[in-house]
Chains A and B, each alone.
Chain A
Amino acid sequence: MAAHLCIAAALSSAAIAEPSNVSFLGSTMTPAQIQTGEALYAETCASCHGENREGQPDWRRRLETGRMPAPPQDGTGHTFTHSDADLFAMTKFGIEAVVPGYESDMPPFEGVLSDPEIVAILAFLKARWPEEKLRFQAALPSMRSSPDG
C-alpha cells in the first residue's frame, strides 16, 4: 500500500500533459508518461522482452535451466491477466513478490528504476495492448477489488 501511495504522489506531480485513455492503478496516464515509458522500455526491458515487445523466441517452452523465457508484452502473452498492482510488484520486487518460490530470470528493478519510471513503462505497455486486452484486464477481480484500481 505504501508503494501505491508513493506512486500516486509521483504521478500527480508528473501529470502535466493531456490524459490518455490508459490508466494505471486508477490514475489516468498522460501521453508524456507513456512516451517516457517507451524510452525506458527500450533502455531497460527490450533486451529480453524484445524491441517490439514480441518476447523471446519460443517463449512458452521452458529453458534448460527450468525457467521460462521472457514473454511478449504486446498483448499476445499473459501480462494482461495480471492486475496493475501485481504488475508493479513483479517489476519492482521481482516475480517472487507475487508468486512466492517462482524462479525467474527477470531481476527486481528496485533501485534501478524509480516507482514513477516503472509506472511509465507499464503504462506504455498497456497503451499498446489491443483494446480487448485492456477490457479483459479491467474486468479482472483483482482490478475491481483494488482500492485504487
Chain B
Amino acid sequence: MTIPKTDGLHRRAFLGATAAACIVGTAPPLIAAPSPQVRALVFAGSTVLAAGNGLMRSQNGGATWRAAAGPDQELRALTTHPQRPDRVVAALDAHGLAVSDDAGASWRKAGAGLPAVAIDALATAATTPDTLYAAIAGDGLWRSEDAGETWAFVMDRPFLAEAERDVTALASVDLASGMGGIWLYAGTTFGMQRVPDCFCRWQDVQPGNALDALVPGGDAPETQPLPEGQPVRALVSPAAAPARLYAALPSGIWSTDDAGMVWRKTSDVEVLAIAVDPATPLSLVAATQGALTYSRDGGETWTAGAVI
C-alpha cells in the first residue's frame, strides 16, 4: 500500500523561520516564530532529516536544508537503518508508521499490530537494525523484529516517582547490559531510565551491568544524574561512541561520556529535537522553537542553519 506524499508543502514556513537566522551561542538565543515545528531529527547516513509539519533534508550536517518528499501527514518521530541510509521509518501524526526505502521518494504504511494511537518515539536497535522500538503514551514499549512490519508489546512504561511515565525519547545504546544484550535508554516525562533489551526491568543508570548494578555494597563511583523530574525531549547516542549520550531537557542540552553516570550541561539552548552524526560524535543537529541549528563541538556552540 502506498500513501500520499507531499513535496515542500511547508517550505514557506521553514523559509520564514530561518530568514532571521543568526549565530547561536550557548545563551538562549533563537529566533521567534513562524516556526517550522520540527518534532524529530535523524541522521540517515550522512544526510540529516527533519520532520514535523513537512520533511526537510540536509546534506551538510544541518548547515543548509531543502524541502523533501514526505508522507502527507505530520510526522512525530523518525528512525533510520545504519547500513541502509535510504531506509526511513516515520511515525505518523495520527497513528501508525510510514516506511520509505528510497530516501523518501515513495512511502508505504507499516506497523501491523500497533494500537491505533500516536507513537511518541522510535529507535532502531544498534546491533540488530531490523529490530525497531516504538513508545506509545499511556501504553508502553513495542518491538518489531522485521523492520517495522509487525509489532508486539514488550514492556510497560518506566515507573518513576510513584507513577508510570510516558516515554518521550528512545536510544539503543551498544553497551553490554550483562544479560546477553545491550541497553535501551528512555527519556520520559519525568527523567531517564534504561532497560536491558531482554526487557526484564526498567532501572536507573547505575554502575555495572543490569544485575551487578543492583547489588549493594562496595564503593559507589561518582554519579551526577540528570536534573530530577525534568522531561527528556530527545536522547541520542552516536554509534561510534555509544557511551556518549546527549539529552535535551527544558534546562538545556546535557551530555555524558560514561553512558549516563555523570551528566553535565553542555548548553543552555532549549531544543525540541536533536540528532547526532553516528560517525562523528561531536556533530549535532537540533531543532528549537522556530529554527534548525547545528554544532560541531558536541553542543558547546551552535549555528543556525538555512533553508535554500
Contact = CB atoms under 8 A, between A and B. Distances in A.
Contact of A86 (B181, B211, B216): B211
Nearest to A61: B156
Interface residues of A, number: 21
A60 B180 contact: no
Nearest to A66: B159
Given A62-B164, A78-B200, A81-B180, A98 B155 contact: no
B178 A60 contact: no
Nearest to B159: A66
A61 B214 contact: no
Interface residues of B, number: 22
B209 A141 contact: yes
Nearest to B181: A81
Contacts of B209: 141
A140 interface: yes
- 5 smallest A-B Cβ distances: which pairs? A81-B198, A81-B179, A78-B198, A62-B156, A78-B200
A60 B155 CA distance: 6
Interface of A, helix, strand, loop or mixed by DSSP? loop
A142 interface: yes
A2 to B, nearest CB: 17
Interface of A: 60-62, 66, 68, 78, 80-82, 86, 98-102, 136-137, 139-142
A86 B215 CA distance: 12
Contact of B180 (A61, A100, A139): A139
Interface string B185-219: 00000000000101111000000010100111000
A66 B201 CA distance: 13
Contacts of A80: 180
12 contacts: A60-B140, A60-B199, A78-B198, A78-B200, A80-B180, A81-B179, A81-B200, A82-B179, A82-B211, A86-B211, A99-B211, A141-B209
